[in-house]
Structure 1
Amino acid sequence: MSTRKLLVDVHTHVYLPRYASFLRARAVAPKIFSRPVPGEPGAREDRLVILDNEPSGGRPIGPQYWDRPEKLAFMDKHGIDVSVVSSANPWLDFLSAPEANTLAKELNDDLEGFCSSSPELDSAPSGSGPSIKRLYGLGLLPLVPEASPSDVLKTITQISSLPHLKGVIMGTQGLGRGLDDEELEPVWGEIERNGLVVFLHPHYGVPSSMWGERDNGHVLPLALGFPFETTIAITRMILAGVLDKFPSLKIMLAHSGGALPALSSRLASCIDHDPVVASRLKHNARYYLGQLYFDAVAYGSEELGFGKLRALGSSRMLFGTDHPFFPPLKGTDKWRSVTENLAAINGVAGWGDKEREAVCGGNALRIFNLA
């Protein structure tokens, strides 16, 4: 068995065919619709609209969003050995509880098939044990307002029974009241007990009234709104004591944790000066930063090398690409979400080969129990 190091992508998405068909049947966002291609008589294109009033009428969508050969071709092109695939937002938030419960179970089974039918690696790290597949997945939970917690727990049991699903992807709404909702405590406990990873990913951003009247396309919502949504959601979990009650819970934050690393000391000071919150927590706020995992989708070594993240060590960072979003710009066939994020990992001052290899793949093998 080869001893070469692996490149593992932990932030990579799909809209599985069943879900894409579901979105095609919808008349309001989120939806997939067909429209004429400007300047090309008779030609049509499919567009994905995730949120109301998206700029440019959404984004073009094609097989790269749901086709396994397309995903594997992208991986091969960029030297990615293994991908931990998750459904892209908005997940099931907009459905009724019965719809979400049914669709979650169906999509989890679909994702297991998507991954289990992928090829095995030709080579894997020495001593890695069983063969490693090219694809693994993160399942969906029927987390919607009015959902029955018992149905959510049953879905966790389903995900745990599917050998190629290693965790769950989750938005910030929970059962409609956020992730600090006490009703979620049995959910956190069951996820922890089963050793699943929670990938916390934003969808709603911050209120659109914050962005002003100037047309800035999607820049402000994606560049700032998404990371701040994550920052607020995980901070509410910390303040509620979730990480004290479930210390073995494995939570990975999208987009390198948003603003949390930069604001963790300010957060700690505010907590210390608020006796109501300070008496609720067992540790300083900086401690909880060290309980979390962060994808390395930051696009710059300065961000990855930021003091608070660097202080955590390389063991908490994992490579990701955000595929199939942000496709190549004109003049290149390589995805900058790959090349720039790899360059960022390689450019962090003080990291040697051992640290970079951990971020690129070793950490993922460990926390997702792939080897």
Structure 2
Amino acid sequence: MAARQLVVDVHTHLYLPRYASILRQRNTVPKIVTRVRDDGCKEERLVILKDEPSGGRPIGASYTERNEKLKFMKKHGIDISIVSTANPWLDFLQPKEAHDLAVKLNDDLEEYCSTSPTVRGTSMKQLYGFGLLPIVPHVGIDSLLETVKQISASSHLKGLIMGTRGIGKGLDDEELDPLWAAISEAGLTVFLHPHYGIPQEAWGEKDNGHVLPLALGFPMETTIATTRLILSGVFDRFPSLRLLLAHSGGALPQLSSRLASCIVHDPIVASRLKHDARFYLGKLYLDAVSYGSEELGFVSDVLARSNRYETGSNNVDQASRSIGSGRMLFGTDHPFFPPLASSEKWKSVVENLDAIENVQGWSEVDKIGVKGGNAISLFNL
């Protein structure tokens, strides 16, 4: 099977057994609790947010067991998955505990991936991973750099997943500059994923389940964190930093021109950046987890136009939507949002693949790239 024809899932999660065991021992969020359902059967529920609706979400083997991940991939025609620990990562631990657990979980994930089957007709494994950093408040930078070295030395870990709070002050904290430098030098990709969302009071008193926090809160968290990174000049200081945004970049593509206008009119930041804010969006990678072809097409346009906004550029031509596709990668968000019946295929797979297939202005080559070729190139598989 030619590499350009492979389907690669870059947004797919797991809770390694060591990590799940810790969550089962906890009495406060995050935690895994066991309860008895109305039918008398026991079930485990994952609670990762304060005031989480429905007392968390039911979980099963698909959250922790590799065979279930591989079965899911086979059923849906996914050849390779770049798996990552699902939120909340190590945020609830003290620095020493977080460091020790990060090292152990990265070793666990390397074994999880390195002992997975190969993709038929290739030398590639079916599973690769994003490692973890002990990026918690008050952690020493040496601890973070040591863990970057561990991930970089692991054959099957191709980057790291990171939340938006950094070491307490956000990702625009200058104390993280040595970390961005080390990640850039190692050629690792940072998968930026939300967890904290928007304060609960923003959603009002009506019970809307998980809809508002997940559909709006998570993407806005990503939007704000990435904007703060842009405003801080991180992408000017570390132009080779590779950042992959969850959920197609949240609302950042839609708001990028408004952002650029606000910067120009604000004396505090007007001269801080080397380029127009819209330039930096073209340096990002975005997953294609948006569920609609029109949304993917729009995001692709925003990425494609970025070079027009490089300082000194004379390029005023309308960029081809095809150009933006090169920085977009298929994802499923497995094992979240399962189908209601075991015989059904997951909507997150079917709808996101259909969305890629139906983007107007993308060639077949572009679509093959978004489905898998771009990931194979980015992660040097």
TM-score (norm 1): 0.96
Determine if contact 1:37/1:45 at 8 Å carries over to the other structure.
yes
Matches within 5 A, 1:124-163: 124=122, 131-163=123-155
Determine if contact 1:304/1:310 at 8 Å carries over to the other structure.
no
Matches within 5 A, 1:290-309: 290-306=282-298, 307-309=301-303
Residue 345 (structure 1) aligned to one of 356, 363, 372:
356
Alpha-carbon distance in structure 2 between the residues aligned to 1:331 and 1:86: 24
Residue number in structure 1 paired with 2:58: 60
Determine if contact 1:46/1:61 at 8 Å carries over to the other structure.
yes
User: 2:257 matched to 1:265?
Assistant: yes
Structure 1 residues 177 and 95, CA, compared in 2 at 3 Å: closer, same or farther? same
Identity across aligned pairs (percent)? 65
Residue number in structure 2 paired with 1:80: 78
Residue number in structure 1 paired with 2:308: none
List per-residue Cα deviations over 1:271-313 (Å, max 9, x = no partner). Answer: 1111321211000011000000000000001110114246452
Deviating above 6 A after TM superposition, structure 1's stretches of 4 or more consecutive aligned residues are none
List per-residue Cα deviations over 1:210-251 (Å, max 9, x = no partner). Answer: 001111111000000000000000000000000000000100
SS of residue paired to 1:313: helix
Matches within 5 A, 1:1-371: 2=2, 5-38=5-38, 40-41=39-40, 43-124=41-122, 131-306=123-298, 307-309=301-303, 311=305, 313-330=324-341, 333-370=344-381
Determine if contact 1:10/1:318 at 8 Å carries over to the other structure.
yes
Determine if contact 1:14/1:66 at 8 Å carries over to the other structure.
yes
List per-residue Cα deviations over 1:132-173 (Å, max 9, x = no partner). Answer: 000000000000001001100000001111100000000000
List per-residue Cα deviations over 1:16-43 (Å, max 9, x = no partner). Answer: 00000000000011000111021x23x2
**How big is the shift at 1:3?**
6.3
List per-residue Cα deviations over 1:74-128 (Å, max 9, x = no partner). Answer: 000000000000000000111111110111000000000100010111124xxxx
Determine if contact 1:168/1:197 at 8 Å carries over to the other structure.
yes
SS of residue paired to 1:278: coil
Determine if contact 1:13/1:65 at 8 Å carries over to the other structure.
yes
Determine if contact 1:204/1:229 at 8 Å carries over to the other structure.
yes
Determine if contact 1:10/1:364 at 8 Å carries over to the other structure.
yes
Determine if contact 2:3/2:373 at 8 Å carries over to the other structure.
no
Determine if contact 2:83/2:129 at 8 Å carries over to the other structure.
yes
Determine if contact 1:78/1:338 at 8 Å carries over to the other structure.
yes
Alpha-carbon distance in structure 2 between the residues aligned to 1:95 and 1:173: 14
Alpha-carbon distance in structure 1 between the residues aligned to 2:208 and 2:121: 46
Alpha-carbon distance in structure 2 between the residues aligned to 1:239 and 1:112: 35
Structure 1 residues 199 and 4, CA, compared in 2 at 3 Å: closer, same or farther? closer
TM-score (norm 2): 0.93
Determine if contact 2:4/2:369 at 8 Å carries over to the other structure.
no
SS of residue paired to 1:277: coil
